[in-house]
Structure 1
Amino acid sequence: MALEIKDSNFEEKVLNSDKPVLVDFWAAWCGPCRMLAPIIDELSNDYEGKAIIGKVDVDENQEFAAKYGVRNIPTVLVFKNGELVKRQVGVAQKETYVEILDSNL
């Protein structure tokens, strides 16, 4: 399962991580977000120990969604060494996320 990331632990879990971090900004009412959820969970298993895969519920945690300009969901952001390195808006194939993660390992 993907790590639940909140505004309160975003800096610790994402910005201060020594591993690449993929963050899925989503909401429970969002149909495309529900389509992406199984892919995010698969990535969480596939990259265990190599990268952090997390999810931010934008209805409950708006601070970092606003800070990084997340206006449409799902939006996946990838961070490396605390810096935003990639943005993917909308649902993509699993291979897209694999390529992004592999290029940042």
Structure 2
Amino acid sequence: MTAIAEGATPTTLGAVTDLTPGEGRAYAVRGLQLAVFLLSDGTIRAMDAVCPHKGGPLADGQIDGGVVMCPLHQYAFSFDTGACTSEGVGAAQTYPARVVDGMVMVDI
């Protein structure tokens, strides 16, 4: 079980069956736009849905290993840290995510 970050609130987004393996989906929750990804190995990853560079939709980005590529300018952001692989571009906030009883949970 993933530990909940101090001050974070576990939030249910929906059923894991709503996600397509290898693709992202955007959610609006608690005033945030989140991009949630079901990776091919079955893990769930969550980060800000808006690219810090020019506001591109990260949920629509292509997954390449441990990163998602913004569809606007091809900047890649790490699922682990949110850091961009290119210098001079800000990071996307990441959030701990997991599946509990078939439901996607994200700590916000």
> TM-score w.r.t. structure 1 length?
0.32
Q: Between Structure 1 and Structure 2, whose CA radius of gyration is higher?
A: 2
Which structure shows the higher helix fraction?
Answer: 1
Q: Which has the higher strand share?
A: 2
